[in-house]
Structure 1
């Protein structure tokens, strides 16, 4: 049986970089479904093609972080990986909280990209080696009230999970937070994916550190 191809959308406002990345991905057996120069175009391409991975520049016009949040929320079957020049801690952790499964630097050898994206789809995090120690340190020094697992979630996702954990139903959570029930379920799906669990009870246990 032929393995499912690794389909990718590339989003970066630098055409030359997109071309280099595309060449490397296609040489590694990936299928590039489209290229975008802005965050809005990236979201539209993901909605149109449903790639397995969206490779996003954090600083492209329209805000790469905003695109990461929208894609992670609206298209949870598409893994988001940031490809950026920024080594700032704030950008790194904001990307992970926005739903990104990886954070790679633009000085990464393009030939390594296909393997990194394949690893993401196997459930591995794709992180630039220079940044791994920062993630470990952040988790070690997380604020007492915010566990390492919780730090991966957005504030809205935490609100949803805290209300569900208190015994409220999906409809009650939606009413309290002025959301639709569909949006609540999308948030829950995003939490399960980020925490790598299959049900709400398991997510509650992870968030409680049990």
Structure 2
């Protein structure tokens, strides 16, 4: 049953941000029962207070995604919502895989935060509007089909990593891939480096061959 007085645990390593979040939640009729600054503390507070919702930053020490995974495993009836500056696909999809019931951006209207958490408690989920299309695209075009041949190497890559490699394999430059995916060139290079490490190869061509199943 959803009540107006939603009890929330907040975890964010920036004290000023926690203050703004608390103010927004309390202004919306929620009760902040505890605050933490890193992942291990967030898990401990969730277990101790058994709140209605846990609100986590992704990039706090220890990883908010790891905290989400541990909290949803230990407290499956307690929804976790990520509140972050990151709009990166990897963070979004990794959060959902970890069991998060919502993914909100810190530049959202703070007056809507409390109602977003109530939506989660009603089973509706909470998602920043501009991220919904990315989730739809992920399911409409499963990335592991795009090289045209199934490969065991595909299972090691995130959706975004696969998309970057597909575009590079088609002959696009790093800058062109960045423009196509609305990323910075440095982010594209980081994705490529991560793929090479995951596949244990030294160059892109070797990665392409593995991903084609050659």
Fold similarity call, TM over 0.5: yes
- Distance in 1, Cα, partners of 2:144 & 2:31: 43
Q: Deviations over 1:60-95 (max 9, x none)?
A: 001111000000100111100000111110110000
Matches within 5 A, 1:171-186: none
8 Å CA contact 2:12, 2:36 repeated in 1: yes
Q: Which runs of 4+ in 1 moved over 4 A?
A: none
Query: Structure 2 CA distance, aligned partners of 1:93 and 1:19?
Result: 27
Residue 139 of structure 1, CA deviation: 1.4
Aligned ranges 1:46-195 → 2 under 5 Å? 46-142=46-142
Partner of 2:177: none
Residue 141 of structure 1, CA deviation: 1.7
CA distance in 2, matches of 1:55, 1:41: 13
Matching residue of 2:149 = none
Query: When the two structures are aligned, how many residues end up with a matched partner?
Result: 145
Match in the other structure for 1:12: 12
What runs of 5+ residues in structure 1 fail to find an aligned partner?
A: 146-154, 156-210
Question: 2:4·2:30 contact (CA, 8 Å) conserved in 1?
Answer: no
CA shift in 2, pair 1:108/1:5, >3 Å: same
Q: Tell me by how many angstroms 1:4 deviates.
A: 6.2
User: In angstroms, what is the RMSD of aligned CA positions?
Assistant: 1.8
- What secondary structure does 1:111 align onto? helix
Tell me by how many angstroms 1:22 deviates. Answer: 0.3
Instruction: Name the CA distance, whole Å, in 2 between partners of 1:143 and 1:85.
Output: 25
Give the structure-2-normalised TM-score. 0.65
| Other structure's SS at 1:82 match | strand
